[in-house]
């Protein structure tokens, strides 16, 4: 059984598929500010994570607490994995999403 699609429906579907989302005029400045704050915040959190992990490793070694130093090593590995994911995942998302047009 073959179903025929009316030409007008097909044209409407292709017209909808060509619509690209756009931000309202003047919104890009605010989006850039918010993304800048998020970028600085994430960078500071990565730095604090490394400092706390190194402090846990040093404190665990000096005070003879093997669980603290083990937790610091695990924390340091998690921070480095998060940094690598933070650098790789945006490229993967851009490749999956394409140009942003539906």
Q: State how far the alpha carbon of 73 is from the alpha carbons of 5, 47, 62, 87, 95, in Å.
A: 62, 15, 15, 21, 33
Q: What is the pLDDT of residue 72?
A: 96
Tens digit of pLDDT at every position of the chain (102 positions): 555 555 666 666 665 666 676 778 888 889 889 989 999 999 999 999 999 999 999 999 999 999 999 999 999 999 999 999 999 998 887 887 766 565
pTM: 0.67
Q: What is the pLDDT of residue 34?
A: 93
> Do the Cβ atoms of 31 and 23 come closer than 8 Å?
yes
């Amino acid at each position: 059984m073959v179903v025929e699609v009316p030409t007008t429906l097909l044209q409407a579907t292709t017209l909808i598929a060509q619509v690209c989302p756009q931000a309202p005029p003047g919104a890009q400045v605010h989006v850039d500010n918010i993304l800048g704050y998020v970028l600085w915040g994430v960078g500071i959190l990565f730095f604090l994570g490394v400092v706390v992990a190194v402090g846990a490793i040093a404190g665990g070694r000096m005070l003879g607490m093997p669980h603290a130093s083990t937790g610091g090593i695990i924390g340091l590995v998690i921070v480095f994995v998060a940094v690598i994911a933070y650098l790789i995942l945006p490229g993967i998302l851009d490749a999956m999403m394409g140009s942003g047009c539906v």
